[in-house]
Amino acid sequence: MDDTPQSSRVSSTDQDAHARILRAALTEFTQRGYKGASTRGIAERAGVNEVTLFRHFGSKLDLLRAAVEQALMQMKIPQDLEPYLHGTLEQGLSQFISDYLLQVTAQSDILMLGFSEAFSQPEISDLLREFMWKMRGMIVRYFEAMRERGAIKEGDYPILAHIIMTSLHGAASMRKRTPIEMAQLSDERLTGCLVKTIVDAYARYAPDSPIHDTQLT
Amino acid sequence: MDDTPQSSRVSSTDQDAHARILRAALTEFTQRGYKGASTRGIAERAGVNEVTLFRHFGSKLDLLRAAVEQALMQMKIPQDLEPYLHGTLEQGLSQFISDYLLQVTAQSDILMLGFSEAFSQPEISDLLREFMWKMRGMIVRYFEAMRERGAIKEGDYPILAHIIMTSLHGAASMRKRTPIEMAQLSDERLTGCLVKTIVDAYARYAPDSPIHDTQLT
DNA sequence: TTATAATGCAAGTACATACTTACGCAAGTG
DNA sequence: CACTTGCGTAAGTATGTACTTGCATTATAA
C-alpha cells in the first residue's frame, strides 16, 4: 500500500511503456538468454505489469525480435569513408577502429545476445550476420581505398577485417562479462596495439616517417 | 516395440552410460544453452533413460559442471615452448597458432558454452577465464622468448595475445554457428594472415630474408 | 460529460520440465 | 545360489512460466 506501482513508473524517467519494455527486455535477454529471461522479470524491470508486455508485443518471441531489431537499428555503420581517409594511415585507422569499437561496446548487449542465441533463434542470427557482413565490407573497402592511395600493401583484407572485428568484439564482451578487468583491456590500449600492428605490417613506407600526411586526400 | 532402447545403447559404440551422457550433455548445452537444454533431450541423445542421468549426476547443474570440467581437462595448453622456438619466426608462430586453433576448434563447444553461460553460471565462466588466462600467459611468454632471442621487436604482447586468441575463437565459433561459410574463413587463410601480419609488424629484420633460421634455438 | 485508449490487478489455464519413488530385469561376482 | 550393481519403465510431484480473461482505474480528447 505504501509504494504504489505508479511510483516506479514515474521513476523510470516516464518514458512510455513500450520503450521501457524494450530496454528491459534487451538487458534481461542478454543477461539470462532467451530461455532464461522471464516475461515476469522483464515486466518488473520495466516497471510495468506483465500483461502490458503481452498487450504491446503479443509474445515473448516477438518481443525478442522487436528488441533486437531496434537495437540493431541504433547501431550505425559508417556509410562514408571520407573522414577516415585524411591524415596519416595511423590516424585514419585509429579513428576508424575507435569509432567501431565505440559502436560495438555500446551495443555489445545485442551482439552477445545474437551470438549466444544464434542457434535457437535463426532469424536473430541472420540480422546479426547481416550486420557483421556489412561491417566487414566497410573495413575491406577502407583498406582497398588505402591501397589505391598507395598507403598500404596488398593483403588478405577480408581476413584482416575479421581479425579486427573479432578482437574488438571479444574485448567488448569480455569486459561486460567478467568482473575482473582482463589484463587492463582498455579501449586505448587495444586500438593502439591493433593500429600499430597493422600500420607496421602494411604501411608502404616506414611507419615512423609520416610521409603520407599530405598525399592522402 | 521394434527398436528397443538397447539397440541405441549398443549403437553408441558401447561406451558406458556415464561417458555417453557427458558427451550428449555437452552438445545439448552448447546448442540450446543451459536453460534450453532438457534432461530428457540429453538422455535421449545419450541413448539412456532420463533416470539414469540423475542417478549418475544428481542434478542438471551438476551435470553441466561435470561436462564442462571434463571438456576443459581435455583441452591441452602447450606447456613447453621449445617446439615453437626452432626455425623461422614465421614457422614457429605458424605452428604455435595452428596448434592453438586446433584446440580451440576442437573444444569450441565448451568455449561457446562458457561464454554464453558466463552470466548465469559464474563457476563455469571462472573455469573458462582461468583457461584463457593461462593460454594468454603462454602466448606472452612465447613472444618474450622471441624477443630475448632478438627475433621480434618490443610490443604490447598481452594485447597481441588477446587479439590472436579472440580472432581464432571468433572464427571457430562463427564456423560452428553459421550455416554459410563466413567468407571462406579457413584455418589456413586465417593463420596465414595472422602470422604474416605479426611477422611483418614485429620481425626485427626484413621478413623476406630468413636470417634467423640458425640463430633461433 | 462521455467515450476511448492505456494500464493495473487478480485469477486462471496449459504445459514443459527438473526431479523422485518404486519396482523389475539382467549380468556379473562372491 | 544370493547379492550387488547398473539400468529400464512407469508414474507421479512440484514448480516455473508463457499467455489469457475479465474487470477496475485513470487520463485524455471530443
- Interface residue of A29, A112, A119, A139 to substitute, partner B, most B CBs within 10 Å: A119
CA-nearest residue to B126 within chain A is: A178
Angle separating helix axes B17-36 and B60-74, nearest 10 degrees: 110
Say if residue A200 is exposed, middle or buried (CB neighbours under 10 Å; 0-12, 13-18, 19+). buried
A5 CA, D21 C1': Å apart:
22
B78 — alpha (psi -120 to 50), left (phi > 0) or beta?
beta
- Interface residue of B61, B116, B117 to substitute, partner A, most A CBs within 10 Å: B116
Band of pLDDT at residue A179, cut at 50, 70 and 90: low
Q: CA-CA distance, A171 to A136, in Å (whole number)?
A: 17
Q: Which residues of B touch A89 (CB under 8 A)?
A: none
3-state helix, strand, coil in chain B (%, to 5): 70, 0, 30
CATH number of the domain to which B23 belongs: 1.10.10.60
Same domain, A197 and A129: yes
Same domain, B128 and B147: yes
Strand D lies under 7 A from the Cβ of residue A40: yes
Band of pLDDT at residue A194, cut at 50, 70 and 90: very high
Out of A162, A177, A201, name the one closest to residue B201 (CB).
Answer: A201
Of A52, A72, A92, the residue that ends a domain is A72
Contact A165, A139 (CB under 8 A): yes
B121 — alpha (psi -120 to 50), left (phi > 0) or beta?
beta
Tell me what pLDDT residue B88 has.
85
Same domain, A64 and A93: no
Q: What is the mean pLDDT of residues B104-111?
A: 77
Same domain, B67 and B147: no
- A10 membership: H or E segment, kind and range: helix A5-11
B29 CA, C19 C1': Å apart:
19
Whether residue B155 and residue A197 make contact (CB cut-off 8 A), yes or no, is yes
Same domain, A83 and A156: yes
Of A45, A72, A99, the residue that ends a domain is A72
Angle separating helix axes B39-46 and B60-74, nearest 10 degrees: 50
Per-residue cell: B187 = 584455418
pLDDT-above-70 percentage for chain B: 82
What is the domain count for chain A?
Answer: 2
Same domain, A52 and A149: no
The residue with greater pLDDT, B96 or A127, is: B96
The pLDDT of residue B114 is above 90 = no
Band of pLDDT at residue A208, cut at 50, 70 and 90: very low
The residue with greater pLDDT, B22 or B184, is: B22
- What does pLDDT average to over chain B? 81
CATH number of the domain to which A114 belongs: 1.10.357.10
Q: CA-CA distance, A165 to A153, in Å (whole number)?
A: 20
Angle separating helix axes B108-116 and A108-116, nearest 10 degrees: 130
Same domain, B135 and B184: yes
Secondary structure (3-state) at A152? strand
Q: CA-CA distance, A155 to A162, in Å (whole number)?
A: 13
B20 CA, D6 C1': Å apart:
15
| Bases on strand D under 7 Å from any protein CB | 6-11, 16-22
**Closest alpha carbon to C1' of D16, residue:** A38
Out of B33, B167, B182, name the one closest to residue A163 (CB).
Answer: B167
Same domain, B185 and B158: yes
Same domain, A146 and A102: yes
Angle separating helix axes A17-36 and A39-46, nearest 10 degrees: 150
Same domain, A85 and A154: yes
| Bases on strand C under 7 Å from any protein CB | 6-11, 16-22
Q: Which residues of A touch B182 (CB under 8 A)?
A: 129, 132-133, 162
Whether residue B120 and residue A194 make contact (CB cut-off 8 A), yes or no, is no
Band of pLDDT at residue A94, cut at 50, 70 and 90: very high
The pLDDT of residue B177 is above 60 = yes
The pLDDT of residue A4 is above 50 = no
A52 CA, C24 C1': Å apart:
52
Q: CA-CA distance, A98 to A25, in Å (whole number)?
A: 28
Of B19, B41, B72, the residue that ends a domain is B72
A61 CA, C14 C1': Å apart:
18
Cα A179 vs. chain centroid, distance in angstroms? 20
Q: Which residues of A touch B118 (CB under 8 A)?
A: 177-178
Q: Which residues of A touch B31 (CB under 8 A)?
A: 119-120
Q: For residue B118, give Cα distances in angstroms to A85, A87, A92.
A: 39, 42, 35
| pLDDT tens profile A5-18 | 333 333 334 568 89
Contact A18, A52 (CB under 8 A): no
Same domain, B17 and B103: no
| pLDDT tens profile B116-168 | 777 677 777 777 788 888 888 989 999 999 999 888 999 999 999 999 988 88
Q: CA-CA distance, A32 to B121, in Å (whole number)?
A: 10
CA-nearest residue to A203 within chain B is: B201
Tell me the shortest Cα–Cα distance from A20 to chain B, in angstroms: 22
Domain region containing A192: 76-213
Out of B35, B133, B183, name the one closest to residue A158 (CB).
Answer: B183
Among A36-40, A102-106, B202-206, B212-216, name the most confident range. A36-40
Same domain, A50 and A139: no
Interface contacts A/B by beta carbons within 8 Å: 156
**CB under 8 Å to A206, separation ≥6 — which residues?**
none
